Amino acid sequence: MNKLVFQGIVDICQTHAERLRWSMQHLTDKKPFTKASLSQLTDIELAVFDQFIVRFSKLQDVMGAKLLPAIIELTHEEGELNTFIDKLNRLEKIGALDSVELWLKLREMRNQFSHDYPDDPEIQSALLNKAFGMAEQLLQCMEHAIRFAAKYQ
């Protein structure tokens, strides 16, 4: 893998991470999210929530589609890695990923964002409370993977 190509992937991840952190910082005083607190959000606060959801999803996507496969390529891992779960297991084994189980939970959280529940603020608030905690884990996962990959460049 070309060093510039890998750095481009890292840069994309870091841009999503910075914007995710920014949205989290601006929403911290709203926690914990409840049905009542969600109904009182301003349009700007709703836009920040949208930013949080989009950046969480995009970071998780680019890590799964580009960063993690690039690390497999950088480390020259050999063997049968036909499925994504095989790649995740190998990444965990070599120490690039702390936990396959955590990664799958992050993916599930990302998938839950694709289901909009505009008529159910109870579900929305529970989802956002859960996602807020998982966003820290996603950011840590990204930082860990990037530090790991730095050893191979």
**Tens digits of per-residue pLDDT, 42-93?**
999 999 999 999 999 999 999 999 999 999 999 998 777 889 999 999 999 9
Model confidence, pTM: 0.93
Backbone torsions φ then ψ of 15, nearest 5 degrees: -65, -45
Share of the chain above pLDDT 90, in %: 77
How many domains, the chain? 1
Work out the average pLDDT over 137-146: 98
Residue 40 belongs to domain spanning: 3-150
- pLDDT tens digit sequence for 89-115: 999 999 999 999 999 999 999 999 887
CA distance to 32, 49, 139, 140, per residue, from 28 (Å): 8, 11, 16, 18
Residue 15 one-letter amino acid: T
Measured distance CA(47)–CA(55) in Å, rounded: 12
**For the domain that residue 19 is a member of, what is the CATH number?**
1.20.120
Q: What pLDDT sits at residue 118?
A: 65
Q: What pLDDT sits at residue 8?
A: 97
